[in-house]
Amino acid sequence: MAETTIALETPLPPRDLSHNPKRYLVLGATSGIAEATCRIWASEGANIFLVGRSEEKLRAMAGDLRVRGAAFVDIAAADLDRLEDHPGLLAHAITQLGGLDVAYLAFGILGEQPKAETDVAHAEQILHTNLTAPVSMLTWLANFCLKQGRGTLAVLSSVAGDRGRKSNYVYGASKAGLTAFVDGLRNRIDREGVAVLTIKPGPVKTAMTASMPGSEKFADVNAVAKDIANAIAKGEGGVMYVPAKWRPIMAVVRAIPDSVFKKLNL
């Protein structure tokens, strides 16, 4: 099937195809973690629909996934900050896939903390991209999955949302809000047969983090992707830290008294 850039009209209802191979909708597909996860799914012969900002990168990624064994790959280049486009984009993607088994939300921006401290517009952009836009898409996707009575929603949040730190509190606030929203969404729909998985990575070596101090010590993106793919394959909701060591680390961070925490250079 020919690749598409974007279609915003309301398409026909999803075709009733076999659930094997699985059908994955990947939002923010060109992010380092998402791309590594898609390579795993491609090796399993999956059907994959990629959404991202750069059509050039999406086309290159689609070609790579086909070589790796994906049964079907299509793309849509779109600005996911445009909330008004979400219903048409999501419906189009699901129609092209012939249904939906997993929606994987992996988009977001780090932003610039020093700039966000004085530029409200920049802080608002971080919050919009990392919180408002995912909330819009998850609301639509959750209701779609409820109607079909199944599906998995997997959402990349971050350990940065577990406690505000002076070095990245605007980004952290956006991820804290996303985590709280996904927690509540899981509580609402998990009992209806829809799994909602919150994924909290620690620092991972990707293009987005390459310029950060100490990035050479960050987690390997392929190992992180493997853990994520395994968790999604279980079809269970919940919260996962990846690498797993971050669960006890963040438990300690959250337990530090505020009188001590505010004196730390974090």
> pLDDT tens digits for 180-216?
999 999 999 999 999 999 999 998 867 666 566 666 6
> Is 171 an annotated catalytic residue?
yes
d(CA 249, CA 266): 14
Omega of the bond leading into 203 within 30 degrees of 0 (cis):
no
Of 98, 5, 123, 2, the residue nearest 46 (C-alpha): 98
Average pLDDT, the chain: 90
pLDDT at 154 over 50: yes
Confidence of residue 241 (pLDDT cuts 50, 70, 90): very high
Of 250, 261, 246, 249, the residue nearest 166 (C-alpha): 261
pLDDT at 132 over 80: yes
Of the chain, the percentage scoring pLDDT greater than 90 comes to 82
Of 63, 3, 7, the residue nearest 35 (C-alpha): 63
d(CA 174, CA 161): 7
What's the pLDDT score for residue 15? 41
d(CA 9, CA 92): 8
At residue 224's C-alpha, the angle toward residues 31 and 4, to 5°, is 30
What's the pLDDT score for residue 7? 37
What's the pLDDT score for residue 6? 42
Task: Extract the tokens encoding 180.
Answer: 């709280």
What's the pLDDT score for residue 210? 58
> Higher-confidence residue: 6 or 23?
23
R_g of the chain, CA atoms, integer Å: 18
The identity of residue 139, as a single letter, is T
Considering 24, 104, 169, 171, which one is annotated as catalytic? 171
Sorted by sequence, the CB contacts under 8 Å of residue 125 that are 6+ apart come out as 109, 111
Task: Extract the tokens encoding 259.
Answer: 């009188």
